[in-house]
Amino acid sequence: MTVPRLFIVHGFMAAPEHHWFPWLQQVAEQAGVVTEAPQLPESHSPQLSHWLESLESVVGEPDENTWLVGHSLGCITLLNYLNQRYPQAVTGGMILVSGFSEAVPGLEMLADFVRQPVDNHRIISNVRQRAVIASLNDTIVPAAFSLRLSQQLAAPFYGIPDSGHFLGREGVTELPLVASLLQQFWSQSAAGYIPA
């Protein structure tokens, strides 16, 4: 039985120690899952090429035992990573929190991340399990953007009523829905991994 690998990818102006990322890493590691939350470079002025290079050095080529969780800018970064670096790779699953795949008003400085359209059909074909989570009162990435992303990726959409942008300063230091979905995914995966 192969143990899954989980990668937690932060967003704009964030770091691995922010928000609910340390909590999720701890939960996953307690379940026996090898977990990493890479520090992506210059998160206050991110460049797509640098972020993809950083993921390349940490994640490498994903496989059926690779699981990806992205938050905000981390979501489109992961989609670009799969599309541009490993378009043929089959990946276990992906959970996108407050994700978007198009220009978001107020975030024009991130236009490079959405310049190349995502090959949605390739993601649907190659990423076996997918989910998108949004907060219905998110003022940074409005829930409509995440809903459209879920539709594009044929992924179940989970709308939470009142969690803002899922930031630590908004009181979101745990996100049980992500952990619950990951446990479901792992138990249903071809590898049949049952978390401890």
Rounded average pLDDT over 125-136: 97
Can you say how many angstroms the Cα of residue 146 is from the centroid of all Cα atoms in its chain? 12
Nearest alpha-carbon partner for 8 in 69, 57, 65, 67? 69
User: How many degrees, rounded to 5, is the angle at CA 169 between CA 44 and CA 107?
Assistant: 40
For residue 1, pLDDT beyond 70:
no
Nearest alpha-carbon partner for 97 in 184, 194, 2, 164? 164
Q: What's the pLDDT score for residue 118?
A: 95
- Model confidence at 38, pLDDT cuts 50, 70, 90, reads very high
Rounded average pLDDT over 130-159: 98
Q: What's the pLDDT score for residue 59?
A: 97
Q: Answer yes or no: are the C-beta atoms of 166 and 71 closer than 8 Å.
A: yes
pTM: 0.96
Assess whether 10 carries a catalytic annotation: no
For residue 45, pLDDT beyond 60:
yes
- Model confidence at 188, pLDDT cuts 50, 70, 90, reads confident
Give the whole-angstrom CA distance, residue 33 versus residue 99: 24
Q: What's the pLDDT score for residue 72?
A: 98
Nearest alpha-carbon partner for 99 in 55, 144, 67, 56? 144
DSSP-derived 3-state class of residue 168: helix
- Indicate which residue of 10, 19, 54, 72 is catalytic: 72
Assess whether 187 carries a catalytic annotation: no
The tokens of 104 are what?
Answer: 């978001």
- Indicate which residue of 10, 19, 71, 165 is catalytic: 165
DSSP-assigned beta bridge partners for residue 159: 134
Give the whole-angstrom CA distance, residue 26 versus residue 143: 28
63-112 pLDDT tens trace: 999 999 999 999 999 999 999 999 999 999 999 999 999 999 999 999 99
Q: What's the pLDDT score for residue 189?
A: 73
125, with CB counted inside 10 A (0-12, 13-18, 19+), is: exposed
- Model confidence at 163, pLDDT cuts 50, 70, 90, reads very high
Strands 157-160 and 127-135, sheet pairing = parallel
- Indicate which residue of 54, 138, 150, 189 is catalytic: 138
Can you say how many angstroms the Cα of residue 2 is from the centroid of all Cα atoms in its chain? 22
DSSP-assigned beta bridge partners for residue 94: 68, 130
Sign of CA dihedral 86, 90, 95, 99: positive
Rounded average pLDDT over 159-168: 97
